[in-house]
Structure 1
């Protein structure tokens, strides 16, 4: 799409050529010499040649500058006539030559003006010096502008290269941290899973409840290991493209059914998922926040009130998404570090996630006992919706 000012500037050379041509023709011309009747016609032709080519200076700066230079220098040499309008046209053309072409081209265009100033007759020598000054100034200004533009482009390219190098260095550091974190944490979490599985078979007189607890510990450890690998896959750049951990998406509300099923199997209690309102796809970051809140609430319930019934409620509203996770356990304070206690980072993590999404979170005893976590996450306004 053409900018509004581009159409106007495109016609400036033609307009300038017309104005300068009229001015040049308005200059007083000498009376024709009877012995040389073609002098007036030739001088008129050179006058037009020193102004009209300016109309093409944007498309053909070299040819335009060559034509203007020829006409400007021939008029005083052949007819002893100075064309003052040519000072303007040649200055514009030579500026564009210096701006668009290498310095050696500018030097070549300066040579005829130097020669003219040296060999011209006394009556036009002053005119020749003025021409040389204007030509040198125009060529120099154009070359300087070109050099500044090229320097700015090189600086921008250097900055871009430095930013790219810094980004690659950051990626390398992230990959190194991811590898080290995976090697350290994965070893210990895997050990926990193996020990929990082994304890089920090697502990004498283990009750069914104890075996179920060890099974839940092993399942939780494997789940933590899987999610850790999925998260570290985002940081690692050296994972093959076909590795599932490198391509697995972050969980969202669509994965809540699987999360509830898993919680039901590992805890042994009734876990229900209740959805109200019109289910619509939300921002992936918001869905991840909601998923993590439900996941952390179920984990706290399984840790501090295993086997109790839990309801996970999602309420889709026009401007917000409400989450409510309530259990039928003994409530806060039933055990040290319980859901209502001050130890641990579960509630703190949920509050931080909710705050990052611009929402609110409340956690405490339910009206009929148990523990309730309630979160309200605002939904982004639809495009074009008035605030």
Structure 2
């Protein structure tokens, strides 16, 4: 019991202070659980982080989930998830409620506009950072460019899935390192979470037409099953999945709000679920949140015990290199539409974006400072 309480306490404290996105969260976890508390070894932690990068889903939350599992099994895993996510969920519900009440308020409109401009800065930074990490060869750079062009011309969910599959196949064919071919890899994994993952994918799709809440569960579970590349990529995927159900302004306001609060960016689902279920907004928020996180956790449980062996598969690594390169192109296309086209309305807006990017990259202004600054600038731009 004391172990469970300790897990909940430690992750709740982190959930309150963990600003800065997935990379920062992984740093917080490393400091707390590897160095300070020594719950896990450096080597084991590195393996967990590598697995989170390989699987679809919320990367930093998957790391936290795996740390809880390492400490106290399934119960510990879900306690870690609930505690780390709870502060963000509460804040996102509060912001969603506030956005409903202040829709016609000029100051709120100004803040929203400022946060949408911040989204341009953050997504641009994500594209640049991911391009440097995932696109180091001529082929991976070509895959990123091909994906961006394709999705700018044909922007729909089916095309997104098609380019990811194509990139994975190309990766298997051309990005497999021959030096690793001699490894004999025994393909093994835990069956029950994978069977549950597939069963829920089929069941929720079949029940989606029964009610708004089943539709919510199906849409957000599907999104959580397909998001490679971290929280930033969830924006274009959800926009295509929920095509026509919400305005672009609502999407970008929620995305900007997810940047402004501590904890995982996937709590964008909390904000959207609130707006998608007007008759029972709190229920909708909780269903959307749990549904988008669950598939990533089930896939983590599928491979967690066997990752060290599977990571030696050259074809698997080749496929992931191709998919990661395509994800960069996917995010680049989303940077133009809807992020840029819905946020930057004139030259003054563009000047604010350039200033914000300079503050983020050169002056190293923390995300909390940028949220405050862009909110104030948004109000000023609205009053001008």
TM-score, normalized by the shorter chain, greater than 0.5: no
Larger of the two Rg values belongs to structure? 1
- Structure scoring higher RCO (CA < 8 A, sep ≥ 6) equals 2
What's the TM-score once normalised by structure 1's chain length?
0.22
What's the TM-score once normalised by structure 2's chain length?
0.22
Query: More helix by proportion, 1 or 2?
Result: 2
Query: More strand by proportion, 1 or 2?
Result: 1
